[in-house]
Chain A
Amino acid sequence: MDRIRIFKLFLWCITGLGISAAVARFVFGLGVSTNLSDNTAWGFWIGFDVVSGVALAAGGFVITATVYVMRREEFHPIVKPAVLTAFLGYLAVIVGLLFDLGLPWNIWHATIYWQHHSALFEVAWCVMLYTLVLALEFSPVPLEETSRYAKIRAFLMRYRLVFVILGIMLSTLHQSSLGSLFLIMPYKLHPLWYTPILPILFFISAVGLGLMMVTLESLITSFLYRRKTETHLLAKLGKAAIYVIAVYALVRFIDLGARGKFGFIFEGSRESVLFIIEIMMVIIIPLVLLNIPRARNSSKGLWTVSLLVVLGTVFNRINVAGVTMVRTTGSTYVPSLSEILISASVVSAAALVFFFAVEHFKIWENKAQDPQTKVEKMPEFDRVSNTWLGTPKVSARVKYSLAFVLSIAVGIMFWPFERLESRGIDPMPVVKARGGDTLIVNGNRNFDLVVFKHKFHEEKLGGQNSCGLCHHMNIPGDRNSGCWQCHSDMYRMTDAFRHDWHGSPRGANLPCAECHAPDQAKLAETAKTCDKCHNDLYPPGSQIMVENHMAIGYVDAMHGSCVGCHKAKKDEVGRPNLALCSTCHIKSVSDSVNQAIAMKYSPRKSTWVTIPKEEDQKIYEP
């Protein structure tokens, strides 16, 4: 198979997976399918799709300015692909934003509710207008195909310079205003990135990125379509990029010096490392390589430089949009699979449209060869030998469609069902301490443990016959079911009785009349109780008959069985402190609250647990 076909197949797969994830995002909501939270309201979608996406589409205005305003006609061959990339880039930004917005159907509100103090308002307007301008700049290309629209095309071509200049003006505004977005967060952003001239830095780096993005796009397409690379043009772009990157470096370091923040670079913190990586990728390595004529004129050198600058600038945008805020917000955000899939699919879809365009319109000197239009001979059935003659061939279009549909189906596998089912925090199972009879209850998940001495309680409550006091109900066929098996949610009531399973042919396969009397309404209240069939449901000594099929939340269950008994027994055993929180939650309450805040209930963080020694616990013994 050809490179381009393999690549397209891959893109169709990613798009399909992303569409699946996108359906899940709208069906389940943001909270389920993303890892965004109250202190990380902006994540990967804003950092990559929007802030980086707009910057990546900067090639359009840079190249049109070069060709139409500065009249450098030699760059004419790369104008159309650059404008097309920019146009698709902006469409991708808008589509990406639709996923991120909580109320995407209100995206047009910026046109009627004006709030001109907001940087985002300005960005919204500029992006809208510039996408329109790009559409006007690009539309002569598809209109070329038929002569029917010659008049419109002539009109568009006549006023092209106006559109180009308008586009440059709009680009200047919103490329810089994306930086202004973050000016309002001086306390969140790290001082190495926060500067009042952030908009200017964003604009200069967008120009540099635009040049490099055009280079990269040209390199990628010539690799895929086996075209000749316009190396002489790209080398010239590289030469221009030297000045842009140098100006960027100068402005950035002078600004750092003027604000007296140089020290942070050598701080050794995570942010300083990020900063050094960024500077290496965007400034130092590209400057060195671009200044070597041999590297600049070879496709390998151009690949390296353009990839470095593109990835480095995206890195810079993501840093500004979130990573460097972690120090103050303490966010533990990592993009979820859905977020990454949706972003990737938006990019893939844009790339597919790009390929469609270069194959059907005159973007380059010659139309790219369309692998789909190759006539493929279908195998014929030979009646005499009773076999198929010729190898069966499936056309590329069928393959793409199959890959697309299949990956949508596969994508459903990645839907975050587990997050849907757990409407809250699942309780932690009670664990047995190693080599002992002691049980560890880590209900709050903050490792502020309740240590439950099983044998001690058993003896106090009357030996073998006392099991039923706590294990008041068992799952049929099981002995001593754990509390969390029915009390499966931390705070809410959950269904202990599985009605569907009892009726289902693949489950118990029971007729309705087995539990519901035929002449009565079929209600939970009138149904047979569970112990009518399950004799072993209530263990000996059990004092609780459960009529309700709803199990209360885990917290209430644990507290309910312990606290009640402790309250009743405190006078009997002569220990007035028995019913206090601190009897079981061994640390003081305030400590546990503070620790809970510090640990943030994060399941990712784990620590070694020290179980209090016997001596420490002795004071509680009666």
Chain B
Amino acid sequence: MIGILTDTTKCIGCFKCVEACKSTYNLPGDYPRRWTQHDGLSALNWTSIVVKSDDQFVRKQCRHCLEPACASACPVGALEKMPEGPVVYHNHKCLGCRYCMMACPYGIPRYDWDQRVPYVRKCILCYDRVKNGQQPACTEACPTEATIFGERDELLKIARRRIRENPGKYFQDRIWGEHEIGGTAVIYLSDMDLSFLSYGKRLSHEPLPHTTENAMNAVLPAFGGMGATMIGLHWIISRRIQRAKEKEHKGGSE
């Protein structure tokens, strides 16, 4: 399982990662539109840098959750969690329901609102490059190693070592994305509260797909149960009516 570790204390806000991403995927220039959010992400910007203050920058991108809500929400499997780690998007399957955008707790997937044939767009952790043994364009471009690529376990080790070596430097000595909603492949170290990256201020450790799982598991029992109940009801009531009729009939003949 691969991942990315972003240490916001090392980021100098040079936007090299954004540029690398855009040139790798031939994304044209972007400008604020009615539907864009002000975190800089859009269908044409798959990663962005949120400027929190003069020297605090947070790179925003898809978190590639270990159990992604978007992939479990998609009715046709257009979003798919690859065994290597990235959550990728299949254009040809998508029907444009935008349930993934509603489901994502980080609000990452963006839509081609101005296109007549719109698709969902988000970071795909450079799946093609990763498969060929390269690293993602953004981590390759970073001049300060603020964002690094590797196996998720290795990255967690590095993060823990940095926290151990610099006590008090990081916010709550916390690795963002280690456990929330089941863990994410893109993890953060930061000297500030990064809860603004997600919709819930405090994400629980339970993966989001589990919330629908109970309801989905009840589907077949409910289907069968309802059918059995209805057939049973019909049988009982019909018999009662039949008996009442017979009784009436008998009463009439006597």
Contact = CB atoms under 8 A, between A and B. Distances in A.
Interface of A: 26-32, 35-39, 41-42, 65, 68-71, 100-104, 106-107, 109-110, 113-122, 124, 161, 165-166, 168-169, 172-173, 176-177, 179-181, 183-188, 196, 199, 328-329, 419, 424-425, 490-492, 588-590, 593-594, 596-597, 600-601
B222 A172 contact: yes
B193 interface: no
A601 B34 CA distance: 9
Q: Name the 8 nearest CB pairs between A and B, nearest first.
A: A102-B96, A187-B200, A31-B113, A41-B101, A37-B35, A121-B75, A113-B76, A106-B95
7 contacts: A68-B234, A103-B119, A118-B72, A169-B227, A185-B105, A187-B200, A594-B53
A137 to B, nearest CB: 15
B198 to A, nearest CB: 7
Contacts of A119: 73, 212, 215-216
Contacts of B226: 168-169, 172-173
Contacts of A419: 34
Contacts of A101: 95-97
B94 A103 contact: yes
Given A69-B234, A104-B96, 5 more contacts: A38-B42, A102-B97, A165-B227, A184-B211, A590-B54
A514 to B, nearest CB: 36
Contacts of A36: 35, 113
B172 interface: no
B134 interface: no
Contact of B223 (A27, A110, A169, A596): A169
B192 interface: no
B209 to A, nearest CB: 6
Given A36-B113, A187-B198, A161 B234 contact: yes
Contacts of B97: 100-102, 120
Nearest to B100: A41
A490 B33 CA distance: 11
Contacts of A425: 31-33
A115 B74 contact: yes
Interface in B201-239: 203, 208-209, 211-216, 218-219, 222-223, 226-227, 230-231, 233-234, 237-238
B63 interface: no
Contact of A490 (B31, B35, B93): B31
Given A38-B111, A169-B226, A30 B118 contact: yes
A119 B100 CA distance: 12
B116 A109 contact: no
A184 B198 CA distance: 14
Given A103-B96, A169-B230, A115 B31 contact: no
A19 B52 CA distance: 46
Nearest to A425: B32
B51 to A, nearest CB: 5
Nearest to B33: A424
B38 interface: yes
B254 interface: no
B99 A118 contact: yes
B223 A172 contact: yes
B4 interface: no
Interface in B57-112: 69, 72-78, 93-99, 101-103, 105, 107, 110-112
A42 B98 contact: yes
A269 B58 CA distance: 32
A288 B102 CA distance: 38
A31 B102 CA distance: 17
A69 B233 contact: yes
B36 to A, nearest CB: 6
Contacts of A30: 111, 113, 118
A373 to B, nearest CB: 41
A69 B103 CA distance: 38
A9 B44 CA distance: 46
A124 B75 contact: yes
Contact of A103 (B41, B117, B200, B203): B117
A593 B50 CA distance: 10
Contacts of B42: 38
Contacts of A110: 75-76, 95
B233 A70 contact: yes
Given A117-B209, A117-B212, A424-B32, A38 B101 contact: yes
A120 B72 contact: no
Contacts of A37: 34-37, 113
B115 interface: yes
B95 A109 contact: yes
A39 B118 CA distance: 16
B199 interface: yes
Contacts of A103: 94-96, 117-119
B241 interface: yes
Question: Max chain B CB contacts within 10 Å: which of A109, A168, A196?
Answer: A109
B114 interface: yes
Given A26-B116, A329-B199, A184 B230 contact: no
Nearest to A71: B237
Contact of B75 (A27, A35, A120, A199): A120
A589 B237 CA distance: 77
A117 B33 contact: no
B73 A118 contact: yes
Given A115-B75, A185-B102, A31 B212 contact: no
Contacts of A594: 52-53
Question: Max chain A CB contacts within 10 Å: which of B107, B208, B211, B213?
Answer: B211
B117 A120 contact: no
Nearest to B32: A425
A69 B97 CA distance: 36
Contacts of B203: 187
A69 B230 contact: yes
Contacts of B76: 106, 109-110, 113, 115, 121
A104 B96 CA distance: 7
Nearest to A124: B75
B119 A117 contact: no
Contacts of B212: 117-119, 180, 183-184
Given A118-B99, A173-B219, A491 B93 contact: no
B234 A106 contact: no
Nearest to B36: A38
Contacts of A68: 234
Interface string B147-188: 000000000000000000000000000000000000000000
B222 A176 contact: yes
Nearest to B214: A196
A35 B226 CA distance: 40
Nearest to B240: A71
B37 A177 contact: no
A168 B73 contact: no
A622 B11 CA distance: 37
Contacts of A596: 38
Nearest to B218: A199
B95 A597 contact: no
A187 B199 contact: yes
A102 B227 contact: no
